[in-house]
Structures are given as C-alpha cells and as structure tokens.
Amino acid sequence: MESGAIELAGRFAELIARLHQVVDAFAQPATVAQWATQLATAADLLTHTGPRDAWQRQELDRLLGDLEQSATGADATTTLEPA
C-alpha cells in the first residue's frame, strides 16, 4: 500500500470519527443555547476556515449568538426528528 493511500485512509477515518461525534451530539435533547454550542462545535470539527474566509465563521458565531439571545429564558429541550 502506498504511503499516500495510508494517509488518505487515516484522514477518511478521522472524518468518520468527527461525523460520528457530531451525529451523537445532535441525537441528544438540548436547549437552544446547547444547540448553538453544538452547531459551532460541528462547524469547527467539519470545516476549516482560512484567514481569507474567517468572516464566514464569524458570521456563524453572530447568527448563533442572535439565536441564543432570542431564546433567553427558554429552558425547554428539543430534539431533531429522524429523517
């Protein structure tokens, strides 16, 4: 097996592990604030934003902050419906 193939297999395994982590987190009931945190974590685990595109990650943070602020006092938990 070529070293490039081994590296690719390792990167693929890491992607699968990260996806598994995100899916597990999304399967749990959570408050709006917890969902916002989980979405931010998922974005960090599944994407890479370079300096040129850092505004996109900042915009996500702003949107999630707005969501949390609009849900202040809402302590009820919600779950995602299975597809």
- 34-66, pLDDT tens digit by residue? 999 999 999 999 999 899 999 999 999 999 999
46, 50, 53, 56 alpha-carbon torsion, rounded to 10°: 30
Mean pLDDT confidence for 12-30: 95
Q: How many Cβ atoms are within 10 Å of 37's Cβ, its own excluded?
A: 15
Tell me the C-alpha distance between 37 and 17, whole Å.
19
pTM for this predicted structure: 0.81
Provide the mean pLDDT of the chain: 91
